[in-house]
Amino acid sequence: MLYAFLCCHDEAVVASWSKAEDDAVLAKRHKVTERLVAKGKLGPAVRLMPTTAATTVRMGREPVILDGPFAETKEALLGFYLIDCDSLDEAIETAKEIGRDEKVVFEIRPVRLFVPESKAS
């Protein structure tokens, strides 16, 4: 079974880390993920930019574009895509296409760090 791990953290706290503190967390995690790589168990990993960089597309008869992250309690995170877009406008158009005729909400968040799939074959 493939599991997705969604990393949730107090953003204000993470933003207050110094570079050294941030690096230390990554290094600590790396020790674990390294083992997973060796066993061929690690899929792609992603670090997102802060929620301040997010744009939300709420689909409906007229899609609504909102600045900021997805902040509704009713909907839950059910999945995600990683899509290479040339611009925010392109990303928004893509979200509108994918979500056509649905009531889905997309939060579009630029990716800060992308580690491609490192599963061994």
Judged by beta carbon, residue 40 or residue 68, the one nearer other proteins is: 68
The stretch near other proteins (CB under 8 A) out of 29-37, 73-81, 98-106, 110-118 is 110-118
Q: CA 74 to CA 111: how far, in whole Å?
A: 25
Q: CA 44 to CA 85: how far, in whole Å?
A: 18
Which residues in 28-67 contact other proteins (CB under 8 A)? 49-53, 55, 65-67
Return the residue of 4, 10, 27, 101 that touches other proteins, per CB under 8 A: 10
Q: CA 44 to CA 26: how far, in whole Å?
A: 15
Please give the angle made by the CA atoms of 59, 65 and 71, to the nearest 5 degrees: 80
Return the residue of 13, 76, 78, 82 that touches other proteins, per CB under 8 A: 13
Q: Is there a contact between 106 and 65 (Cβ–Cβ < 8 Å)?
A: no
15 binds other proteins (CB under 8 A): yes
CB neighbourhood size of 95 (10 A): 25
What is the binding site for other proteins (CB under 8 A)? 10-13, 15-18, 21, 49-53, 55, 65-69, 87-89, 110, 112-113
